[in-house]
Structure 1
């Protein structure tokens, strides 16, 4: 029997530097559950290197002092297990970050296993980096692992195997693979297979932003269950998003997000302009099969999270409260299976395309469809005229339903659909054969 991949992933990123000690994380779990999320993704909690960055692990089996209670009689590992148990009591599944492309530069392995690392032309341990506006930015606190060509590759890979098995055994339900496409696919295949020998339901999510379709295919063939897509950055006009999505959706389901721990906060980016904020939230929520938001987005937090400097003191007063709005979005996603699968997404031509996006979502069996009608103009009302909706759905319109998260219409005029959209407004019209 084929392994079942979970559908309709609704994920909440609990950024640990913002929420402090693990014993306090469960304070947030009820709110997360009530908003309709089922998965919690937690950034690295391991003991960090000299920079203090979450993504510079110095000891994968020890904990960042920020996240444990040193005065507790409960051992740190048990504090983590208690946190996972509290999540499971509420029906929440917990995903941890898996950082195996690099370690902290002061990790003991640099001394004990120097052959596990890449070297530069001078023979020094190599630091990874990235291009930023044409400039190479090196992350000097990190040491790049040579997972592909290390002369001691078998022992290195065995170390990663043991790490995955250890945290699977501790109760984690999934892993988010950091910089997944920079790690050999053969290693991912091995780690995923090993995890599934312990627990078949463990889910693997690949950080895949910036991947080519071929790299995405390679990740999917390695056994990853989900990738992340780039819908957050789409301008509602250029064709690149749909070109990417239509290439990858047949390979691997994907997760959208309106903001992440790596991006500017939506409230800051949109200057607190709620029509623009809600518009972007809804577009990402109804674009692909998975959806994720980070902690604080529901309250309009404005300060970008930082993997080195964020502390619980950065928790902000409520700017605005979108918990009910997000809850309604997740109710729709949960109730209507169309929004939990990778659909064919088609841009519909109409006479006000410059201002209004109309996207038709079609299920794989063609039996359910939805129109996502989005006012790109977040300051002015815009009119949309789609005529007879039968041209998109089929001759029978008796099943038409307005699922819009805000102010849904009790009746959908399918014979001649005209609507005056408020600034940034999104309408969702659902049809079932």
Structure 2
């Protein structure tokens, strides 16, 4: 999956999304992810749904003769013509505190001290409570069938609008057996529906447990990797045989990368290339390609927050996505190892496809500010294949691989080398 996150509050009414969809298709993305499109409650947060069967008024052109549902259906049909499938956030771990559901079906919610409970998290030792949200009682409701049927209706409503899949928000907070049943029953009627699990902040074991409910993809945490620690590879190896994962250099929940790296274009390229080629799936939010600096906000962002491009990475992202599409090894979670190298500022990553004869070697300058020197008497020592390595790098590819191999890597630069084995790995 190559996913472009079209953040609806920045893009505005759905009738104006066409240029964003075209740009995503031109860059080689095949999926678009939309944050929640349903009507929010009093807080205005996209993730605080007050009515699951009405659309957010901000996404609808009020002057149009078409209903909101018809407008969105037309936009999703347009995406399909451009070769894009669209998935949407599915938020069923909580809803808005001012939803009618809290009065009609009090038994569906967690009650604490006589009141419906709000979700919370612990941040820096402090309890942070989301007062605009209330928690569904998945585990102990007296009406489990009624609650389940309601969730099924939400999914069916969104599928009938034209969505092809779901990013399941905070999937680990919903019991695995509920997901298992929902995914199974939805696919009996809509067999090609895709389910991805948002698992950020989970331990590797929690991620593994969530993935086992039948999800097609989970999201990994490579965005926070410093290119040195062991944890990312440990997490990758633990989960990769259960479900493939999606990497991203930034998301709607994080600061903008361009802001974090003080406008360093080399760091932007380095981080997208790594995210795209490390795992089976990759995602960027709208504006990443232009080096936007202003963080996306689930309440306050508006189309007027659109920035003038600081850089233009559309061509580079398109070339990386083309590499990913051309070589199966970059579309799967395959055996992957970090190989030792004397310069700690250079990453040498080896990948071997478990489905084809392909093998890949990525030599990446971890330092986006300075040149780093790489030398190898023979790059063949890093691979198992007998066939020659081919350089398919998105920038500065070499026509042939010299021996010995000596190169002064530019800041953040990566070589992407592929080859083919004469036998499959064990």
Q: Which bracket does the TM-score occupy, shorter chain normalised?
A: over 0.9
Q: Decide whether the 8 Å contact of 2:359 with 2:418 is kept in 1.
A: yes
Matched, 1:213 2:204: yes
Matches of 1:178 and 1:148 in 2, distance apart?
Answer: 17
Matches of 2:204 and 2:220 in 1, distance apart?
Answer: 11
Matched, 1:103 2:98: no
Provide the secondary structure at the position in 2 that maps to 1:286. helix
* 90 and 245 in structure 1: CA distance in 2 versus 1, 3 angstrom threshold: same
Gaps of 5+ in 2: 422-426
Superposed CA deviations along residues 328-353 of structure 1, whole A, max 9, x for unmatched, are 0111101111111112121111211x
The RMSD of aligned alpha carbons is 1.2
Q: Decide whether the 8 Å contact of 2:359 with 2:385 is kept in 1.
A: no
Q: Decide whether the 8 Å contact of 1:44 with 1:96 is kept in 2.
A: yes
Q: Tell me the residue number matched to 1:423.
A: 411
Q: Please report how far the alpha carbon of residue 18 of structure 1 lies from its aligned counterpart in structure 2 after TM superposition.
A: 0.2
Superposed CA deviations along residues 211-252 of structure 1, whole A, max 9, x for unmatched, are 233322332321100000010000011101111111111111
* 417 and 365 in structure 1: CA distance in 2 versus 1, 3 angstrom threshold: farther
Q: Please report how far the alpha carbon of residue 395 of structure 1 lies from its aligned counterpart in structure 2 after TM superposition.
A: 6.0
Q: Tell me the residue number matched to 2:340.
A: 349
Provide the secondary structure at the position in 1 that maps to 2:212. helix
Matches of 1:37 and 1:315 in 2, distance apart?
Answer: 21
Q: Tell me the residue number matched to 1:368.
A: 358
Matched, 1:432 2:420: yes
Q: Decide whether the 8 Å contact of 2:53 with 2:157 is kept in 1.
A: no
Q: Please report how far the alpha carbon of residue 366 of structure 1 lies from its aligned counterpart in structure 2 after TM superposition.
A: 6.8
Provide the secondary structure at the position in 1 that maps to 2:115. coil
Provide the secondary structure at the position in 2 that maps to 1:346. strand
Matches of 2:136 and 2:234 in 1, distance apart?
Answer: 33
Q: Please report how far the alpha carbon of residue 365 of structure 1 lies from its aligned counterpart in structure 2 after TM superposition.
A: 4.6
In the TM superposition, 1:177-326 aligns within 5 A as 177-326=168-317
Matched, 1:379 2:369: yes
Question: Which runs of 4 or more aligned residues in structure 1 lie more than 4 Å from their structure 2 counterparts after TM superposition?
Answer: none
Q: Tell me the residue number matched to 1:334.
A: 325
Matches of 2:50 and 2:146 in 1, distance apart?
Answer: 18
Q: Decide whether the 8 Å contact of 2:385 with 2:420 is kept in 1.
A: no
Provide the secondary structure at the position in 1 that maps to 2:362. strand
Q: Please report how far the alpha carbon of residue 279 of structure 1 lies from its aligned counterpart in structure 2 after TM superposition.
A: 1.2
Which deviates the most, 201-210 or 22-31? 22-31
Q: Please report how far the alpha carbon of residue 370 of structure 1 lies from its aligned counterpart in structure 2 after TM superposition.
A: 1.1
Provide the secondary structure at the position in 2 that maps to 1:205. strand
TM, length-normalised to structure 2 = 0.96
**Correspondent of 1:401 among 369, 390, 394:** 390
Matched, 1:410 2:388: no
Provide the secondary structure at the position in 1 that maps to 2:71. helix
Q: Please report how far the alpha carbon of residue 391 of structure 1 lies from its aligned counterpart in structure 2 after TM superposition.
A: 2.1
Matches of 1:281 and 1:89 in 2, distance apart?
Answer: 27
Q: Please report how far the alpha carbon of residue 417 of structure 1 lies from its aligned counterpart in structure 2 after TM superposition.
A: 2.2
Gaps of 5+ in 1: 1-8
Matches of 1:395 and 1:279 in 2, distance apart?
Answer: 26
